Amino acid sequence: MSRVRQHNIIYKEKYAMIRICAAENYDEMSEKAARIIAAQVIVKPECVLGLATGSSPVGTYQRLVERYKAGKISFAGVTTVNLDEYKGLSGTHDQSYRYFMQHNLFDHIDVRPECTHVPNGLAEDAEAECARYDAFVRGLGCADLQLLGVGRNGHIGFNEPCDEFVVPTHVVDLTESTIEANARFFASRDEVPRQALTMGIGVIMGAKKIVMVASGADKADAVYGMVKGPVNPQLPASILQLHPDVTLVADKAALSKL
């Protein structure tokens, strides 16, 4: 009996429409994205939020913190699942994604610490940690709303350009361009970890709703390819064309090639 290899996706046609919410600049983008996330939490206080790190969502998180401090929103019922973590960094390392989330969001709102989840970058068996995390996120029913940024090379999470879309949560070798882009956060390029644990395309696409934030001219090619190009694992964000509910909140510069 032949075995069906149902692991990765290869699909190279242009498919559907991604909803675009245009903003003048980074601040407006952040406000618009925060409104969508706040509405999700208000409508379903016990929701699962999929969260991203990086410079794109910082403004969005600031606005969510402001809303919380103004008494307009509570995260007490929310569960969060982050997309990714560097392999080899502890949660207390100031460049780890756990640290980023504590610093930019979790420490300033009423989310219960035990309900915030980031892959463990220090797990002895990183592959086993990926399998655990994948099963955990699937057990939650995946995110009600997944927030994403996009890499200059079109990566989402740390799903880097590749010959196939990788469905399970996995350990990934970061590309030179990602290492280069992230070097700005480290004392030197040599300190940037070479590997990360990332949600796979499966649990990202399992989210009920996806919101991507993109800002700046250096994202314009990735945004163009994602929206107008074929669905192609060489530009991982293009898989979002196959999702029924994606909103791209982007500023003028990021939309400049559309």
- 59 near ligand F6R (CB under 6 A): no
With CB under 6 A as the rule, give the number of residues binding ligand F6R.
14
- 102 near ligand F6R (CB under 6 A): no
If 0-12 CB within 10 Å is exposed, 13-18 middle and 19+ buried, where does residue 114 land?
exposed
- Residue of 67, 98, 117, 155 that binds ligand F6R (CB under 6 A): 155
Which one is catalytic: 117, 129, 134, 155?
A: 155
How far apart are the C-alpha atoms of 29 and 165, rounded to whole Å?
A: 28
Rounded to the nearest whole angstrom, what is the least distance from the CB of residue 238 to ligand F6R in the complex?
Answer: 14
Rounded to the nearest whole angstrom, what is the least distance from the CB of residue 244 to ligand F6R in the complex?
Answer: 21
Per CB under 6 A, which region of 3-11, 111-119, 145-153, 239-247 contacts ligand F6R? 145-153
- Residue of 18, 30, 37, 53 that binds ligand F6R (CB under 6 A): 53
Q: Is 144 a catalytic residue?
A: no
Which one is catalytic: 82, 104, 120, 153?
A: 153
Per CB under 6 A, which region of 23-31, 63-71, 112-120, 149-157 contacts ligand F6R? 149-157
Q: Is 243 a catalytic residue?
A: no
- 105 near ligand F6R (CB under 6 A): no
How far apart are the C-alpha atoms of 196 and 220, rounded to whole Å?
A: 25
Of 51, 210, 203, which Cα lies nearest the Cα of 135?
203
Per CB under 6 A, which region of 109-117, 121-129, 148-156, 167-175 contacts ligand F6R? 148-156
Q: Is 160 a catalytic residue?
A: yes
Q: Is 153 a catalytic residue?
A: yes
Rounded to the nearest whole angstrom, what is the least distance from the CB of residue 148 to ligand F6R in the complex?
Answer: 6
- 83 near ligand F6R (CB under 6 A): yes
Catalytic (active-site) positions: 84, 153, 155, 160
Residues that bind ligand F6R (CB under 6 A): 52-56, 83-84, 149-151, 155-158
